[in-house]
Amino acid sequence: MVSKLIKKSFKYFSLFFLLVIAGNLFAQKDINDSLKKANDLYQTKNYEQAELIYLSLVNQGYKGTELFFNLGNTFYRENKLGLAILYYNKALVISPGDEDIKYNLDIANSRMVDKIDTLPEFFPFQWWESILSLFNLSGWTYLSYFLFLLLLVSISLYFLVKRIKIQRTSFFIGLVLLFFLIISAIFTSVRLNRELNERNGIILNNVVVVKLSPDEKSNDAFVIHEGLKVKLEDKVDNWIKIRLHDGKVGWITDSNVGTI
């Protein structure tokens, strides 16, 4: 009786699993078809229609480098600089090493009104940031898992194979793998900490007056313009506290900024 129930449960579970897979395949096909249609519209310079399709995918919760990059290109062609820079940055979060995204983002940034002066970074920090940007959080996590598995293989060989030469080789390889695993784990932790605790945004409107406090009647602090990247530090009702790269702090309404 128990055996029959188990077989019956397994049958229903298998059917459910196949239905989920089929549903995902059909959904992915619809997404790919929509992307292709939007890409074709973009190629024929029908940017408004392409934008509508791209945004419909975003509103459905779909995220992807191609989608964000193409949407950034579309907004750039429509002279919507803030939105273009926003979606280039979103694409860069997913694929931090993509040269095409970086190139287009640099072009868009060159059109910005605001040129915020920042202190030049000491070269070790530049080196650190360059390595950190090689992968996103998922990439560093997968690399750490891969190195951990290789380390386990090396340890297994050391204890299971009784030949001195193989033991010596696996020992030194294990030390090298352990070193790189620690480095990879550090970069993974830094990436995770940034994604959990750091929020950045892009100014979307042409001209934004920043207030000293979260109140429309508050005194003006300074003025910023479309496309500027800012840190988002706090939120009170519909007001967001921002910090510029030069240290200036103020408040703007949330309609003026898009979160990366």
For 205-222, how does the pLDDT look when each residue is reduced to its tens digit (9 = 90+)?
Answer: 999 999 999 999 999 999
pLDDT band at residue 2 under the 50/70/90 scheme: very low
Note whether 251 and 210 are within 8 A (CB): yes
pLDDT band at residue 156 under the 50/70/90 scheme: very high
Model pTM?
A: 0.72
Tell whether the model's pLDDT for residue 154 goes beyond 50.
yes
* Distance from C-alpha of 30 to C-alpha of 186, rounded to nearest angstrom: 39
pLDDT band at residue 19 under the 50/70/90 scheme: very low
pLDDT band at residue 198 under the 50/70/90 scheme: confident
Instruction: Give the model confidence (pLDDT) of 35-93 as tens digits.
Output: 999 999 999 999 999 999 999 999 998 989 999 999 999 999 999 999 999 999 999 99
Strands 249-253 and 257-259: unpaired
Instruction: Give the model confidence (pLDDT) of 163-185 as tens digits.
Output: 889 889 999 999 999 999 999 99
The per-residue DSSP string of 82-137 comes to HHHHHHHHHHHHH-TT-HHHHHHHHHHHTT-S-----PPPPHHHHHHHHHHTTS-H
> In a 3-state reduction of DSSP, which class is residue 174?
helix
Strands 249-253 and 229-236: unpaired
* Distance from C-alpha of 228 to C-alpha of 201, rounded to nearest angstrom: 8
